[in-house]
Amino acid sequence: MYRLAGMSNPRQAQAFIDYMASRGIALSLAPEPEGRFAIWLEDSTHLVEAEAELHMFLADPYAAKYQAASWDVAESRTAKFYYNSPNLLKVVKSQAGPFSLSVMVTTVVIYVLWLLGFQQTLFDWLHFPSMEGDQWQLWRFFSHALIHFSALHIVFNCLWWWLLGGQLEQHSGVAKLVQVFLVSALISGFAQFWLSDPGPSYYFGGLSGVVYALMGYIWWMGWLSPQQGLSLPRAYVGFMLVWLVIGFIQPFMAIANMAHLFGLLSGCGLALFDATKGRRH
């Protein structure tokens, strides 16, 4: 067999194969790395004719004769190619790891139960320890990050968690993401509880503080220790910082601003510690 050409469009390559089949010359299509497809000539004695026809095809791949040939040989074609759309679940899994996926699934399940009428039960079990005796229930220092109060709230947080948490987990491993999650959930929770005035935002929850910690960690690691290979587009950083400022100055929405701010500071602090430790080593 002889590799005749490589193409990035498999439908177009199949049209040429069908046309050559109508002329009695057998070609086959095979996938290659980086999304390309190779056209293979099965009998090299037809090489001159195949190359000449390929040259004419590439000059006008949408000519009527090629489309007509595809219709003529469609039923007798032995190789079938399917062009499926990317599977959403596969896309999500490819950009995350076991811990980031587990947190996403847990938050979604909790939110579904919230919508089904278990709001009070969930909040009673998962809220930050703000009542007498709660402080001995240690899970509360972290579980508040898993509660979300609206569709926009959970979509916004889960999207950023997937983008940033998935990136950190794939780059630095599960242990590092768990560390950032626990530290930032603890610090952002305490900051929101102790530094915010009693009001709607006093009863808080969500991954926002952790998300800001992830943003701060990846951002500062890219700045302080670029050789580590972690980086964040400036547009992401700019958007998150602008949203942080808007949260403090807007009077309409109840936003856990202290959780956001101290989540960001905790992520930057962890990055500073890791970058300094890396220089010493």
Write down the H helix ranges in 74-227. Answer: 88-94, 98-115, 119-126, 140-143, 151-160, 166-172, 174-195, 208-224
197 phi and psi angles, rounded to 5 deg: -75, 150
Is residue 208 flagged as an active site residue?
Answer: yes
Supply the DSSP symbol for 201: G
Rounded to the nearest angstrom, the gap between the alpha carbon of residue 187 and the centroid of all alpha carbons in its chain is: 26
Select from 173, 115, 117, 177 the least CA-distant residue to 149.
115
Task: List the helix and strand counts (H, then E) for the chain.
Answer: 13, 3
**Which is nearest to 165 in space by CA: 110, 109, 230?**
230
- Select which of 70, 148, 260, 266 is catalytic: 260
Query: Which of 100, 208, 225, 266 is labelled catalytic?
Result: 208
User: Does residue 94 have an active-site annotation?
Assistant: no
Q: Which helix (H) or strand (E) holds 260?
A: helix 257-280
Q: Are 17 and 30 in contact (CB under 8 A)?
A: no
| Bridge partner list, 28 | 40
Q: In Å, what is the CA distance from 180 to each residue of 28, 91, 203, 236?
A: 51, 24, 23, 19
CA distance 241 to 211: 12
Catalytic residues: 208, 260
